[in-house]
A and B are shown apart, each in its own frame.
Chain A
Amino acid sequence: GENVEQHPSTLSVQEGDSAVIKCTYSDSASNYFPWYKQELGKRPQLIIDIRSNVGEKKDQRIAVTLNKTAKHFSLHITETQPEDSAVYFCAATNQAGTALIFGKGTTLSVSS
């Protein structure tokens, strides 16, 4: 089945710096790659997603890049702010497209 690896598991940055989180997936048939943000005590929420025929997508301070050949995708957060502190999860669909498989999560801490 699909396997999603996510790195790093923790990331600490200073406010205003950029943060990059990377994920790799195993199933070449996967075609949808969302990123979720989970604040402390809250439920995960979608922040950005990309489909397999697109290489890059940007939404204000966040962007996602996808390299289908290498089977990896990344989340980029620029000009980080303390409110960006949360756990971020990447995900990919399984081969049948019937379920989302999540990475292990990255705890991002932004200090002011």
Chain B
Amino acid sequence: EADIYQTPRYLVIGTGKKITLECSQTMGHDKMYWYQQDPGMELHLIHYSYGVNSTEKGDLSSESTVSRIRTEHFPLTLESARPSHTSQYLCASSEYKGWRDEAFFGQGTRLTVV
């Protein structure tokens, strides 16, 4: 079944560690996004990509980086995790079909930095 997958679902990591959050989609979408969301709160756009080898920063400065080497894969890397990075990270993908640009979200990765 076509879907968007995020791993890990939960992660507890020490301050200063480097981590990569994985996101893969099997829907063949060109556009992919990373959002940061505290429970029930605002969705902050941190990175997006509109195709292979394209990456753009969103409005939230998160001290993270992304890459888009393959259409289906859009990993997010934190070079040095800090307690302020504790949050939920949602990956999404979308593609224009006619006029509609529906975004499909992954289950999220809940990150805790101690």
Q: How far is the CB of A51 from chain B (nearest CB, A)?
A: 5
Of B20-28, B70-78, B99-107, the one touching chain A:
B99-107
Residues from chain B with Cβ under 8 Å of A46 in the complex: 102-103
Query: A87 and B59: CB pair below 8 A?
Result: no
Q: Of the candidates B42, B45, B59, which one forms a contact with A104 in the assembled complex, judged by CB atoms under 8 Å apart? A: B42
A89 CA / B40 CA spacing, docked (Å):
10
Query: B99 and A101: CB pair below 8 A?
Result: no
Known: A46-B103, A97-B101, A99-B48. 19 other contacts (CB 8 A): A1-B59, A34-B102, A38-B40, A43-B90, A43-B107, A43-B108, A44-B43, A44-B103, A44-B105, A51-B99, A87-B40, A93-B101, A98-B48, A99-B31, A99-B50, A100-B103, A102-B42, A102-B45, A103-B42
Enumerate chain B interface residues (CB-CB to A < 8 A). 31, 33, 35, 40-43, 45, 48, 50, 56, 58-59, 90, 94, 99-103, 105-108
Enumerate chain A interface residues (CB-CB to B < 8 A). 1, 32, 34, 36, 38, 40, 43-46, 49, 51, 87, 89, 93, 97-105, 107
A-B pairs with the 4 shortest C-beta distances? A43-B105, A102-B43, A104-B42, A99-B48
